Amino acid sequence: MSVSGKNLLRLLGTCAALLAGAAALTFIVDPLQIFRPARLFAAMYSTDTRLQNAGLIQSQDFDTVFMGTSLAIHFRQSDVDKALDVRSLKLAMTGSNSHEQVFVLAAALQRHPDRVIWELDDWIFCDAVDIDANPYLPADLYRRNAKGIARYLFNGAMARESAWILARSIPPLSNLAARLSTDAVFSFTVPNVDDIFVLSSDIDVGKAYNATKTTAAFTNITDPARSAGFAEGYNYDAMVRNFESDAVGLIASNPDVDFDIYFPPYSILQWVAMRDGSPATLKIVYDLTTHINRRLAEFPNVRLHDFRAVRDVTHDLDNYSDVIHHSPAIDLKVLSWLANGTYLVDRSAPTASLERLRAQVEDYQIDTDRVAR
């Protein structure tokens, strides 16, 4: 064999050895805790929830799953546990659609929890790409098939995170490694599962949530240049189809699981923005909600809670950082309402809460002094 031929073989052999070494490191440290809960090394968690959830489902003990979008992402699992007397696992994902939520919930239900708490936004039922075409959700890792496991093990980012978690566990390096734990370089920077995506303790809640920010957001989204965005993706037939195939499909196939589904308390300005900027979109939301409420009332394992017309909260704009996202104080109120069934939808009158919301939206007068145009 020529010298070049030998060099080529040495190069390929060394490359294969490095690939195997990286895969072995990821397998041993297992940053996502896919293969085993963290014991040898301190557990670290990522705020990339679409990725992290695949590991949480395997590694955590839970009897209740908490799902939703960014409206549910700041909840603390410990608060959920205390309020509802459960052992919960939060799997909320920012900007998630119904395909993603139902796929992740279905994976979690394979661990046989008793209960699902599901924060439901109407927009999650807009058409979205299929799970296997979604580049941000590692579907094969949830399925734990060979392709998903190979992608996890032969992954430079995971090998880097593994090396860093390993460094944090070696006493002479641990302090330095902890100091370097910046999200500019590393993804797994959260040491406690309860802290994933909760608001940092040094955040000034009064500054983050106030009427000034809420009205500024309202002004922004109702700007004629942007208000066309309201209607984006809203198609009644498609949304009903996605609701039926995703939500109803999951509920019907898990009759032994209790579903506590709730509509979150958006600020009244969310509805007023639609009322004034895109009445057709508002009608789609009303019609879709009517369908959802009536349909869910048919399932004995579903309790539907509707917080959208809780005037004390939704009309107090200091509770929000924009027109929909509420403060941690409202998180706790939501949990107490869920625990007490305060706003449980009556199966015999499934659209009564919607009618209250409709009346509030029609009556609401914008405080023009606050909402600068």
The least CB distance from residue 73 to another protein, in Å, is: 17
Q: Interface with another protein by CB under 8 A: which range of 54-62, 181-189, 197-205, 360-368? A: 181-189
Residues 20-59 vs another protein: string with x where CB under 8 A?
--x-------------------------------------
The least CB distance from residue 155 to another protein, in Å, is: 6
If one counts every other C-beta atom within 10 angstroms of the C-beta of residue 373, the result is 7
Q: Interface with another protein by CB under 8 A: which range of 133-141, 195-203, 267-275, 351-359? A: 133-141
If one counts every other C-beta atom within 10 angstroms of the C-beta of residue 310, the result is 20
Among 61, 130, 171, 182, binds another protein (CB under 8 A): 182
Among 157, 205, 228, 280, binds another protein (CB under 8 A): 157
User: Which DSSP helix (H) or strand (E) runs through 208?
Assistant: helix 205-208
Applying CB under 8 A, does 280 fall inside the site for another protein? no
Distance from C-alpha of 131 to C-alpha of 99, rounded to nearest angstrom: 7
Distance from C-alpha of 3 to C-alpha of 281, rounded to nearest angstrom: 70
Applying CB under 8 A, does 156 fall inside the site for another protein? yes
Applying CB under 8 A, does 159 fall inside the site for another protein? yes
Among 6, 112, 226, 311, binds another protein (CB under 8 A): 6
Phi-psi map region of 68: left, alpha, beta (phi>0 left; psi -120 to 50 alpha): left
Distance from C-alpha of 53 to C-alpha of 267, rounded to nearest angstrom: 29
The crossing angle, in degrees rounded to 10, of helices 279-296 and 268-277 is 130
The least CB distance from residue 65 to another protein, in Å, is: 26
Cα 29 to Cα 24, 43, 115, 158, 194, distances in angstroms: 9, 9, 31, 10, 21
Gyration radius of the chain's alpha carbons: 23
Applying CB under 8 A, does 203 fall inside the site for another protein? no
Q: Tokens standing for 267?
A: 């600020």
Long-range contact list for 140-147, CB < 8 A, 24+ apart?
141/32, 141/34, 141/51, 141/54, 142/53, 142/54, 142/57, 142/103, 142/104, 142/107, 143/107, 144/34
In the complex with another protein, which residue's Cβ is closer, 135 or 172? 135
The least CB distance from residue 177 to another protein, in Å, is: 14
The least CB distance from residue 254 to another protein, in Å, is: 29
Q: Tokens standing for 107?
A: 């994976």
Q: Interface with another protein by CB under 8 A: which range of 130-138, 276-284, 313-321, 324-332? A: 130-138
Q: Interface with another protein by CB under 8 A: which range of 15-23, 41-49, 62-70, 167-175? A: 15-23
How big is the site for another protein, counted in residues (CB under 8 A)? 29
Applying CB under 8 A, does 4 fall inside the site for another protein? yes
Residues 90-129 vs another protein: string with x where CB under 8 A?
----------------------------------------
Among 136, 192, 207, 349, binds another protein (CB under 8 A): 136
Q: Amino acid identity, residue 227?
A: S
In the complex with another protein, which residue's Cβ is closer, 3 or 372? 3
Residue ranges of E strands in 153-240: 188-190
In the complex with another protein, which residue's Cβ is closer, 204 or 256? 204
Q: Which residues contact 92 (CB under 8 A, 6 or more apart)?
A: 49, 66, 67, 68, 69, 70, 71, 72, 73, 75, 119, 197
Distance from C-alpha of 241 to C-alpha of 245, rounded to nearest angstrom: 6
Q: Tokens standing for 207?
A: 């500054």
Q: Interface with another protein by CB under 8 A: which range of 80-88, 147-155, 191-199, 268-276? A: 147-155
The least CB distance from residue 288 to another protein, in Å, is: 27
| Residues binding another protein (CB under 8 A) | 2-8, 10-12, 14-15, 17-19, 22, 135-136, 138, 151, 154-157, 159, 182-185
